[in-house]
């Protein structure tokens, strides 16, 4: 499995944001209010993935006091990281498109509230993408150069 390229994630985010903006501009009045619960949920996922990356990196490097990690567990974590990065980019694009549409309606109460919810959700999705990329990086097998740097 190849590492996730951040440019692909940005591309997914931009394309989904433009599609979401185009759709939302036509059906905004018919949509229900956006729930704020995505913000803490996605932030908790980001914290969990960031912590998993930190622990996995220490276990792969065989730091003192850590147990060796199973190769299959690392493969599963890498797959989770890749999926989370793309899901975070997709949902981040959806929230960005929503924020782009509602930013022009900030003089009204409901769109203003939805703008802040969409922006907070977008930021939490960006945090998830960053945590997923860190977890994916942590799942890499250290090269000989990395091991030599750790000994110094």
- CA torsion 42-126-82-144 (nearest 10°) is -120
pLDDT, tens digit (0-9, with 9 covering 90-100), for 12-36: 999 999 999 999 999 988 888 889 9
Structure confidence at residue 141 (pLDDT): 82
Domain ranges, ordered by start, for the chain: 9-36+65-139
Q: At how many degrees (to 10) do helices 38-60 and 71-102 cross?
A: 150
Contact between 39 and 121 (Cβ < 8 Å): yes
Looking at residue 28, the DSSP 8-state letter turns out to be G
In this structure, are residues 23 and 93 in contact, taking their beta carbons and an 8 Å threshold? no
Quote the pLDDT of residue 65.
86
**pTM of this structure:** 0.88
Q: What is d(CA 114, CA 28) in angstroms, rounded to the nearest whole number?
A: 11
pLDDT band (50, 70, 90) for residue 88: very high
**Mean pLDDT of all residues in the chain?**
91
End-to-end Cα spacing for the chain: 30
Helices within the chain (DSSP H only): 6-27, 38-60, 71-102, 109-138, 144-151
144 pLDDT exceeds 70?
A: no
User: Distance of alpha carbon 57 from its chain centroid, rounded?
Assistant: 19
Per-residue pLDDT for 151 more than 60?
A: no
Task: Give yes or no for residue 150 having a pLDDT over 70.
Answer: no
Read off the pLDDT band of 68 (50, 70, 90).
confident
The token pair that represents 86 in the structure block: 């793309």
């Amino acid at each position: 499995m190849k590492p996730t390229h951040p440019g692909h994630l940005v591309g997914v985010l931009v394309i989904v944001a433009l599609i979401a903006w185009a759709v939302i501009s036509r059906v905004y009045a018919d949509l229900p209010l956006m729930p704020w619960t995505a913000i803490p949920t996605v932030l908790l996922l980001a914290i969990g993935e960031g912590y998993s990356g930190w622990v996995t990196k220490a276990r792969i490097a065989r730091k003192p006091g850590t147990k060796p990690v199973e190769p299959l567990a690392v493969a599963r974590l890498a797959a989770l990281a890749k999926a989370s990065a793309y899901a975070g980019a997709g949902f981040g694009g959806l929230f960005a498109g929503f924020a782009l549409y509602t930013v022009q309606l900030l003089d009204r109460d409901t769109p203003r509230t939805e703008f802040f919810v969409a922006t907070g959700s977008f930021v939490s999705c960006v945090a998830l993408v960053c945590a997923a990329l860190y977890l994916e990086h942590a799942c890499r097998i250290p090269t000989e150069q990395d091991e030599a740097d750790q000994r110094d």
